[in-house]
Structure 1
Amino acid sequence: MSDAPAAPPDQPPSKPPGQPKNPLHGLTLEAMLQALVAYFGWEGLAEQVPVRCFALDPSIGSSLKFLRKTPWAREKVESLYLFMLREQRREAR
Structure 2
Amino acid sequence: MGNQNDTNKTQPNNPLHGMKLLNILELLVDHYGWEKLANKIPINCFKNDPSIKSSLKFLRKTQWARDKVERLYLELDRKN
| Shorter-normalised TM range | 0.7 to 0.9
- Give the structure 2 partner of residue 79 of structure 1: 71
**Structure 1 length normalisation: TM-score?**
0.75
Instruction: Kindly indicate whether residue 26 of structure 2 is the aligned counterpart of residue 43 of structure 1.
Output: no
Q: How far does residue 22 in structure 1 lie from its aligned partner after superposition?
A: 1.3
Q: Comparing both structures, which one devotes a greater share of its residues to helix?
A: 2
For residues 8-51 of structure 1, give each alpha carbon's deviation from its aligned partner in whole angstroms, at most 9, with x where no partner exists: xxxxx9xx431122110011100000000011111111011000
List structure 1 segments (4+ residues) > 6 angstroms apart after TM superposition.
none
**Structure 2 length normalisation: TM-score?**
0.86
Return the alpha-carbon distance in structure 2 between the equivalents of residues 86 and 40 of structure 1.
15
Return the alpha-carbon distance in structure 1 between the equivalents of residues 75 and 67 of structure 2.
12
For residues 43-84 of structure 1, give each alpha carbon's deviation from its aligned partner in whole angstroms, at most 9, with x where no partner exists: 111011000100111100000000011110000000001001
Q: Please report the RMSD computed on the Cα atoms of aligned residues, expressed in angstroms.
A: 1.6
Which blocks of at least 5 consecutive residues in structure 2 are unaligned? Answer: none
Which blocks of at least 5 consecutive residues in structure 1 are unaligned? Answer: 1-12, 89-93
- Give the structure 2 partner of residue 66 of structure 1: 58
